[in-house]
């Protein structure tokens, strides 16, 4: 893993308006509040924090799907550099090709009226990245094989498949354009535990195979401990702590991180450690 950041986020704030006020500043919800984070090229960075802490909004902002209020996000893969806030319309397609999203819910994300082949091919066709149907088919078959999908299944419809298979289809669709960076937002949360392990192993092998960099958004710290080499912790829109995974788990610096870690279930039936509840006023 090289230490050069593929994504450099600096002092990022994303505020959503909360209605109008007659006098003074209109009220805003600070979904992301002054966050800085480097995502090194080739890394698998976990982004954790409770519901509403701003994880999805941060991931969407990197993909240029949430409005940046202040600060900057710079993408630099060595071939191309993009200042995400100011991408020119003519460069947008190129950025979308390089930075992709894997959705949470493999049941909702796939159109029931399209074959698996057409679902995977769609981004190539929308972006005009192939010159012929034969070339599209070749690219689809190539990525489907890498995602360990049975090529016979490309003619079928997604309802015929289990949750794990559908998530493989979503992953193939996200990777067919040849991205360098992928946001995986709760990508295994909707799956049974045994299937989760399967998909996590697939993501890790695709990372090595295709030289990908991941931002892996998750509620589940045991999953993050298993796959991520670096972890960032958010709370109420702010970045609380970021560190290599081993270091963060062995020696959490922030009280909120300690509380999160105390909530990981132990496999020891005699372990009756209390779950700590974070109270920012106590630690201020
Ligand atoms: N488009 C929007 N307009 C207004 N508020 C929004 C918008 N998108 C997100 N929010 C708010 O921003 C805050 C952060 O939401 P976000 O979805 O980023 O959190 P999260 O950590 O990903 O939570 P979860 O794990 O539940 O998805 C929440 O209070 C949410 O309601």
pLDDT, one tens digit per residue, over 154-196 is 999 998 888 899 999 999 999 999 999 999 999 888 888 889 9
Residue nearest to atom 3 of ligand 1 (CA): 16
Better-predicted residue by pLDDT, 149 or 269 = 149
Q: Does residue 53 carry a pLDDT above 80? A: yes
Check: CB of residue 26 under 8 Å from CB of residue 212.
no
Mutate to test the pocket of ligand 1, among 56, 215, 217, 237 (most ligand atoms within 8 A of CB): 56
Please state, for a pLDDT cut of 90, what percent of the chain lies above it: 73
pLDDT of residue 262: 85
How long, in residues, is the chain? 284
Please state, for a pLDDT cut of 70, what percent of the chain lies above it: 94
Distances (CA, A) of 49 to 37, 209, 250: 15, 29, 18
Distance 269 CA to ligand 1 centre (A): 36
The span from the CA of 44 to the CA of 97, in Å, is 19
Long-range (24+ apart) CB contacts under 8 A made by 160-168 are 161/116, 162/195, 163/106, 163/107, 163/190, 163/191, 163/192, 163/195, 164/191, 164/192, 164/195, 164/198, 164/199, 166/106, 166/107, 166/109, 166/110, 167/102, 167/106, 167/191, 167/195, 167/199, 168/199, 168/202
Check: CB of residue 36 under 8 Å from CB of residue 12.
yes
Q: Is 55 in the pocket of ligand 1 (CB under 6 A)?
A: yes
Mean pLDDT of 131-150: 96
Domain of residue 17, residue span:
5-283
Most distant pair of Cα atoms in the chain: their distance: 64
pLDDT of residue 207: 96
Please, which residues have CB within 8 angstroms of residue 274's CB and are 6 or more apart in sequence? 262
The number of helices, as runs of H, and strands, as runs of E, in the chain is: 10, 10
Mutate to test the pocket of ligand 1, among 57, 63, 215, 217 (most ligand atoms within 8 A of CB): 57
Please, which residues have CB within 8 angstroms of residue 84's CB and are 6 or more apart in sequence? 61, 62, 64, 68, 72, 73, 74, 75, 95
Q: Look at the chain and report how many structural domains it folds into.
A: 1
**Mean pLDDT value across the chain:** 91
- Token match 């081993």: residue? 246
ipTM of the complex as predicted = 0.96
Q: Does residue 284 carry a pLDDT above 60? A: no
Mean pLDDT of 241-246: 96
CATH of the domain at 80: 3.40.50.300
Q: Is 51 in the pocket of ligand 1 (CB under 6 A)?
A: yes
The span from the CA of 115 to the CA of 269, in Å, is 47
Q: Does residue 2 carry a pLDDT above 70? A: no
pLDDT in tens, 204-237: 999 999 999 999 999 888 899 989 999 999 999 9
Please give the model's pTM, rounded to 2 decimal places: 0.91
- Token match 């996200």: residue? 174
Ligand 1 atom with least separation from CA of 18: 4
Instruction: Region of 105 please: left (phi>0), alpha (psi -120 to 50) or beta.
Output: beta
């Amino acid at each position: 893993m090289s230490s050069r950041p593929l994504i450099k986020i600096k002092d990022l704030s994303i505020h959503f308006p909360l209605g109008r006020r007659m006098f003074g500043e209109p009220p805003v919800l600070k979904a992301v509040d002054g966050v800085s984070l480097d995502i090194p090229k080739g890394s698998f960075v976990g982004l954790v924090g409770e519901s509403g802490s701003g994880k999805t909004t941060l991931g969407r902002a990197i993909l240029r799907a949430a409005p940046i209020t202040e600060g900057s996000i710079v993408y630099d893969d060595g071939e191309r550099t993009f200042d995400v806030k100011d991408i020119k319309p003519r460069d947008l397609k190129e950025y979308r090709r390089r930075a992709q999203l894997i959705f949470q819910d493999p049941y909702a994300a796939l159109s029931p009226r399209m074959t698996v082949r057409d679902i995977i091919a769609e981004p190539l066709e929308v972006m005009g990245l192939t010159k012929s149907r034969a070339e599209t088919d070749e690219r689809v078959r190539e990525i489907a094989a890498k995602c360990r999908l049975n090529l016979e299944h490309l003619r079928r419809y997604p309802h015929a498949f289990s949750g794990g298979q559908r998530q493989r289809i979503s992953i193939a669709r996200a990777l067919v354009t040849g991205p360098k960076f992928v946001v995986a937002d709760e990508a295994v949360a909707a799956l049974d535990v045994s299937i989760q392990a399967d998909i996590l192993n697939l993501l890790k092998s695709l990372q090595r195979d295709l030289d990908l960099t991941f931002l892996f958004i998750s509620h589940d710290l045991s999953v993050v401990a298993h796959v991520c080499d670096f972890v960032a912790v958010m709370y109420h829109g702010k970045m609380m702590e970021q560190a290599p995974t081993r270091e963060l788990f062995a020696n959490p610096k922030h009280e909120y991180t300690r509380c999160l870690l105390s909530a990981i279930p132990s496999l020891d039936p005699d372990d009756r450690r209390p779950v700590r509840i974070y109270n920012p006023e106590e630690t201020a």
